[in-house]
Structure 1
Amino acid sequence: MRKMAGVLLACGVLAGCASTGANRSGAYDPATEARIRVYLGAYSHFYFNTTCEPNDSWFLKGPPGMDVAVPGFTRALAGNTTIGMPLPDDAYKYYDEYVVNANQPLTMTFQIGGQRIIDMGAVGTTTISQRVDHVARSFVPQPGLDYEVFPYEAKWGLETKLRQLHVNGKQVSTTDVELARASRCP
């Protein structure tokens, strides 16, 4: 019975993820969609068609949005998920690329820190605690444009940078795109 409940829970979570507003299949309509590259390094999440960050009370309704570019030791070994976006010379090594709806707000959250339990074999386990830092930002992707986003440590804490990619021949350049603060939804 426990196994069946676990399977049903996993299926429900996966079904919720299947109906999100982003895809990694590479199917892309530049008239109605944009592409975005998310660099690994923080727990990242997309919330679609909203300028605020939904509250954490989603357990019974299913998670809004989707986790993106999920970090982890084995994640780096899996390689990047690419859909054909141009790559600037200063690109970081690990990333995932997504197709998102254009002309609709996209709220992105990034979080670092927290607690991890590490199994040390015969010695036992140990817990590593780090200060949790969280940032939520929003913007409206424009049709046919390519973007990349990454978190970074600013003087005041975790911050997010969004860049638009421009292709000129074989050269890929970037320009910064302004992000709006995304507060918690009411």
Structure 2
Amino acid sequence: MRRVMIIGQPGSGKSTLARRMGAITHLPVEHIDRVHWAPGWTERTRDEKDRLCAEIHAKPEWIFEGGHSSTWSERLARADTVIWLDLPLWIRLPRLLWRTLRHWGRTRPDLPPGCPERFDREFFRWVWRTRASMRRRLNWFYDQIPEGKNRHHLRSGREVEAYLRALTAAMARGDLGLPHR
């Protein structure tokens, strides 16, 4: 395990899982929101996002969470592990609301500087409108993962916690092929 791709819908826990995995494995963590946004909530151009994703993909090790699906094929080609966080909307929406309230007026750790948390009505509408279509797209993508790659389809908080416990145990045994750092 050297390059981990984490996918899922908003509020599924991608950033949290990436940070927790990074703490266990000592792999560098990359957040798509740092690629998508420049300081001051300025959306980067598609070309900029493509270039920044390519720079991350070229690194020897990473845990890269998030979207920008136009670069997923390149990310998948480099990844040795793919994790799909597939939690239901009734769990994700309250998490998104709680995240907004908890970080209100401050920049979350997975965002670039100068992006204080705010309530974005359009973002919540987008989450609602794409709840089914995005899940179908993620399911299609997950089914395309080639043989030989580690794949994990996690559907609940309980499954995520079990995965992290197993990862911690494998790391302690040295089963991941990662040097102890």
Normalised by the length of structure 2, the TM-score is 0.29
Which structure is higher in strand share? 1
Q: Which has the higher contact order (CA 8 A, sep 6+)?
A: 2
Which structure is higher in helix share? 2
Normalised by the length of structure 1, the TM-score is 0.29
Larger Rg: 1
